[in-house]
Amino acid sequence: MALPAVWSMMRLAIPFISVVGLLSVRLVGAGQDSGSVIPAESRPCVDCHAFEFMQRALQDLKKTAYNLDTR
């Protein structure tokens, strides 16, 4: 006799738990979107940073060599 009561409770509990789970996932996702996040497409890659650093270092070396040559 208790079996039909358990099934009726399960029929109500499973959709309720699913809805609560989906809402909590949305709330967690919304919390992570806030703030000033720069999209990956607009951020330079690590190789680009290294290349720019090496370009500046080479320019500094050229300036230093030129200054030493003119003395």
CA distance 46 to 71: 38
What digits encode the pLDDT tens for the residues 15-28? 777 777 777 766 55
CA distance 40 to 36: 13
Three-state secondary-structure class, residue 37: coil
The pLDDT assigned to 62 comes to 92
Annotated domain spans of the chain? 2-70
Name the pTM for this structure: 0.36
Three-state secondary-structure class, residue 38: coil
